[in-house]
Structure 1
Amino acid sequence: MKKLRSFYMHLKHPHTIKRKWIYPLALGSTLSLSLLFLLTLTPLAGNRLYNYYTTAGTSVFIENKLRPIGISDAVRPVRFAYLISGSNHDGDMLRRTLLALYHPNNRYVVHLDAESSPEERLRLHEFVVNHPLFMKFGNVVMITKANLVTYRGPTMVANTLHAAAMLLRDGGDWDWFINLSASDYPLVTQDDLIYVFSTLARDVNFIDHTSNIGWKEFQRAKPVIVDPGLYMSEKSDVFWITQRRSVPTAFKLFTGSAWMVLSRQFVDFCIWGWDNLPRTVLMYYANFISSPEGYFHTVICNTKEFRNTTVNSDLHFIAWDNPPKQHPHYLTLQDMTRMIDSNAPFARKFHQDEPVLDRIDSELLFRGPDRIVPGGWCAGSRESGSDPCSVAGNLTRLDPTSGAQRLQKLVSSLLSEESFRPRQCR
């Protein structure tokens, strides 16, 4: 373990290894995005500069033998901050995903965008504010003033930054930020995820990325688009400006998956941006098609403090065409074995009420209908079909399942000598 730890630390800190254009509409969208971003910062206070170090003695891998652990047995278990977002008709699925992901020590922001109906948003809001556990722990909030999100434009990045700013403003001792959609679903319990991540250096970032942007240079980087979602009250598609732009030379473009597990240190940097890079890159991606697949990747890989903390994976099982197209297949019962064999903690995409979700609940999450996934913190009775999570016990106690073993295999592979450093930002 010490050798593996030394190996990771060596990789994280290796030895020393104009044109101008102005388009009125593009400038207007850029300023609108900048103002929206700045509004998320106003409630924040203080300077949150972090010391980027790893606690001595922490292993990058978990032990082979799984057992329930308490606060006296290990360092404080990690905590996650989730953004779960959806659109029109996603309210019920978002609710189901939230229950499948819930743990009292985590924090959650849920968002139904402005395309959903006021009635749908009201139903979700009533569920959040009236759920007994959510009320007790106060760790689930809903963005009630819905943002307009155009999923091909930068408004999705703005919405993610908005949620991240809320989570930083409201405090809470969380370690990683995870963005998911209502069509995502976990394949492991939160105890499994916390158990494995509690042994990792808390500055690692799981983000699928590459600098080989290929066809995206011509079809996404060089075109200039404007997202009406930045300044209109009703949703419409993005539109293109006739002129094209050159690829930037001040920073290198990266692309990858829009789904990430980001360290608190990096999220803090994206919000505060003390060297101004996050804001500069944000202004560039205000006119970029599918900016969620490039913004965070470009920031992290162009920042010295973070480029060696990246693990090149989005921790998702996704079924793509070969060659891959723009959108993945919806998962069904036929994909169950492949999902399990992937060892991934999350999968997407799922239709609402897809039968495979019931099987995941039954076989992987041990969750009853419309209930929270049980964990070591659940202290209630199971007799006569009672919900054990109706009573909260020791919140630091973990009861990992076989899902932790699967996830351990994946993380061990991703952090191996063959995969970790060779697949980082280049």
Structure 2
Amino acid sequence: MQNSGAAAAPPQQQPQQQQQNQWPSILTSKPIFSTLFTLRDPKPNNKPTLLLYTFLAISLLSITFIFSLSTSSSSSSGPHSGPDPFLFPAHHAHNHRIIYDSNKANPPPPSIAYLISGSRADSARILRLLHATFHPLNQYLLHLDPSASHADRERVALTVQSNPIFKAAQNVHVMGKPDFAYQKGSSPVSLALHAASILIRLNLKWDWFVCLSADAYPLVTQDDLLHIMSFLPKEMNFVNHSSYIGWKESRRLRPIIVDPGLYLAEGTEMFYATQKRDLPSAFRVFTGSSFSILTRSFMEFCILGADNLPRLLLMYFANTPSSLSNYFPSVLCNSRQFNRTVINQNLLYAIYDDRHISDPRPLNSSDFDDMVRSGAAFARKLQPDDPVLDLIDEKLLGRSPGSVVPGGWCLGEPGNSTCLTWGDASILRPGSGSQRLEKAIVKLLSNGTFRSHQCV
């Protein structure tokens, strides 16, 4: 477990560091050098002493050589090359190593960076969502906004720190200083950019960025998702978008608001100005969904700001209601660098109706069959502890309560201890979820118009 600040060194590396700290005393040991100098000019009347020094020198050099071999081999071994030595010292001591013959025909699996965020009383939902989406190749950043209690924040941190799987993988982080995120304001955009910058600083080896709120849940395993995504170009951005504004012009674009989450330490009501503004003419406004799957290169484009477009649009949408559903589609479609990388599908199952225009209606067990047939990778909006969550765990994910979803990297006995023995994290075992997702993406790509013509 790591906060956004300084991270503690993993426990399994401490013995190695202590061993490395002993090297100077071994290499500069006085008897070795005095022995070598004695050998250069031996006295004829000290043959027993010379033999003794020679024997000691050879012995010490042999020990030093053995230490160097053990140190280099331990430092070069990967964290997931077999049963984790920190979790299972007995397995490591008896040299229970497993040799894998990976399928060279399949491309290497990608990595996904997840932001899992929640609010008051969402600690249990965040932890359940973490277990349902966990994979050693991914990166995770957990966030509870300031409205959550100290007990909830402490529960999340202690659970991550005490879980042997999360502790060994070292890919689950908890944001130390939380951000306010008003869903109707622009602060969710600030949170997404802040989280992406933290994940980029922690690890650059991820390919897509996904923001999951506490009311979302996966419909496929991570092995299913990573398997399908490994065959897709890594420059694809999955974003629902449209240049047709319609009713959103009067409700989301022309009103002027002030989001208190950007400047106040405590939550207050949203401030609406009496004036309204015209639509911009310097760029086109696109609207879409607050959920999207974005590439790391695009997130770096928004954060680093080498082009002024992301900053320009950020300043415009800072005073616009529901900025998250407008900001990323507008940046993508107004950028010549990325407007040909947009897929008009976000792989999310959600239901909007006349009563739920701006926010999807809650899902329940009666929607389960439609969720499965949709081929979507995620779904929202799901209520806390709704029976449909247990149904998804049982029928789609194969997850037992309190455990992570088993994948190709899990080699233990069936049950809660399945993933306590590790294999190669790059070995994927996709199931029926990958077939549903593949069918949905093939249908999306086969119509010849999968790239957004609205952006171009």
> What range describes the TM-score normalised by the shorter chain of this pair?
0.7 to 0.9
| Residues 207 and 257 in structure 1, CA contact (< 8 A), matched pair in contact too | yes
Whether 1:98 and 2:130 are equivalent positions in the alignment is yes
5+ long unaligned stretches in structure 2: 5-99
Distance 1:217 1:242 in 2: 16
1:192 alignment partner AA: D
Assess, with a 3 A threshold, how the Cα gap between structure 1 residues 195 and 250 changes in structure 2: closer, same or farther.
Answer: same
Whether 1:251 and 2:270 are equivalent positions in the alignment is no
Q: Deviations 1:113-143 (Å, cap 9, x if unpaired)?
A: 1111111111111112221111111101011
For residue 264 of structure 2, the aligned residue among 207, 232, 236 is 232
Q: Deviations 1:288-340 (Å, cap 9, x if unpaired)?
A: 00000101111000001111111111211112214752222211110110000
2:217 alignment partner AA: Y
Whether 1:128 and 2:160 are equivalent positions in the alignment is yes
Assess, with a 3 A threshold, how the Cα gap between structure 1 residues 69 and 350 changes in structure 2: closer, same or farther.
Answer: farther
Distance 1:98 1:69 in 2: 29
The total of aligned residue pairs comes to 358
2:442 alignment partner AA: S
Alignment of 1:204-283 (within 5 A): 204-283=236-315
Alignment of 1:44-59 (within 5 A): none
In the TM superposition, residue 172 of structure 1 has moved relative to its aligned partner by 3.6
| Residues 362 and 368 in structure 1, CA contact (< 8 A), matched pair in contact too | yes
Assess, with a 3 A threshold, how the Cα gap between structure 1 residues 272 and 69 changes in structure 2: closer, same or farther.
Answer: farther
Distance 1:69 1:263 in 2: 30
Whether 1:354 and 2:354 are equivalent positions in the alignment is no
For residue 409 of structure 1, the aligned residue among 439, 443, 446 is 439
Give the secondary structure class of the aligned counterpart of 1:236: coil
Give the secondary structure class of the aligned counterpart of 2:291: coil
Give the secondary structure class of the aligned counterpart of 1:179: strand
Assess, with a 3 A threshold, how the Cα gap between structure 1 residues 386 and 119 changes in structure 2: closer, same or farther.
Answer: closer
The range that moved more, 120-129 or 71-80, is 71-80
Query: What does residue 181 of structure 1 align with?
Result: 213
Distance 2:280 2:223 in 1: 43
Q: Deviations 1:220-279 (Å, cap 9, x if unpaired)?
A: 211111011111111112111122211111111011001010011111101112111101
5+ long unaligned stretches in structure 1: 1-39, 41-67
Query: What does residue 10 of structure 2 align with?
Result: none
Q: Please report the RMSD computed on the Cα atoms of aligned residues, expressed in angstroms.
A: 1.7
| Residues 341 and 451 in structure 2, CA contact (< 8 A), matched pair in contact too | no
Distance 1:424 1:196 in 2: 26
Alignment of 1:372-391 (within 5 A): 372-382=404-414, 385-391=415-421
Give the secondary structure class of the aligned counterpart of 1:81: strand
In the TM superposition, residue 208 of structure 1 has moved relative to its aligned partner by 0.4
| Residues 258 and 293 in structure 1, CA contact (< 8 A), matched pair in contact too | yes
Distance 2:453 2:101 in 1: 33
| Residues 305 and 311 in structure 2, CA contact (< 8 A), matched pair in contact too | yes
Distance 1:372 1:344 in 2: 20
Q: Deviations 1:331-376 (Å, cap 9, x if unpaired)?
A: 1110110000101010111111111111110110011111100000
In the TM superposition, residue 105 of structure 1 has moved relative to its aligned partner by 0.6
Moved over 4 A (4+): none
Query: What does residue 395 of structure 1 align with?
Result: 425
In the TM superposition, residue 387 of structure 1 has moved relative to its aligned partner by 2.1
Assess, with a 3 A threshold, how the Cα gap between structure 1 residues 303 and 225 changes in structure 2: closer, same or farther.
Answer: same
1:77 alignment partner AA: P
Distance 1:98 1:386 in 2: 16
Distance 2:118 2:191 in 1: 11
Distance 2:113 2:157 in 1: 19
Give the secondary structure class of the aligned counterpart of 1:319: coil
Query: What does residue 329 of structure 1 align with?
Result: 361
Alignment of 1:48-197 (within 5 A): 70=102, 72-197=104-229
2:432 alignment partner AA: S
| Residues 408 and 425 in structure 2, CA contact (< 8 A), matched pair in contact too | yes
- Comparing both chains, which one has the higher relative contact order based on Cα–Cα distances under 8 Å and sequence gaps of 6 or more? 1
1:415 alignment partner AA: L
Distance 2:194 2:201 in 1: 10
In the TM superposition, residue 386 of structure 1 has moved relative to its aligned partner by 4.7
2:450 alignment partner AA: F
In the TM superposition, residue 418 of structure 1 has moved relative to its aligned partner by 4.2
Q: Deviations 1:41-62 (Å, cap 9, x if unpaired)?
A: xxxxxxxxxxxxxxxxxxxxxx
Give the secondary structure class of the aligned counterpart of 2:359: coil
Distance 2:292 2:390 in 1: 25
Give the secondary structure class of the aligned counterpart of 2:104: coil
Identity score, percent: 44
Assess, with a 3 A threshold, how the Cα gap between structure 1 residues 69 and 321 changes in structure 2: closer, same or farther.
Answer: farther
The range that moved more, 342-351 or 167-176, is 167-176
In the TM superposition, residue 416 of structure 1 has moved relative to its aligned partner by 2.0
Give the secondary structure class of the aligned counterpart of 1:163: helix
2:286 alignment partner AA: F
Give the secondary structure class of the aligned counterpart of 1:363: helix
Distance 1:422 1:155 in 2: 27
TM-score (norm 1): 0.81
Whether 1:305 and 2:319 are equivalent positions in the alignment is no
Distance 1:81 1:373 in 2: 17
1:388 alignment partner AA: T
| Residues 340 and 452 in structure 2, CA contact (< 8 A), matched pair in contact too | no
For residue 320 of structure 1, the aligned residue among 352, 372, 376 is 352
Larger radius of gyration: 2
| Residues 134 and 404 in structure 2, CA contact (< 8 A), matched pair in contact too | yes
The range that moved more, 186-195 or 165-174, is 165-174
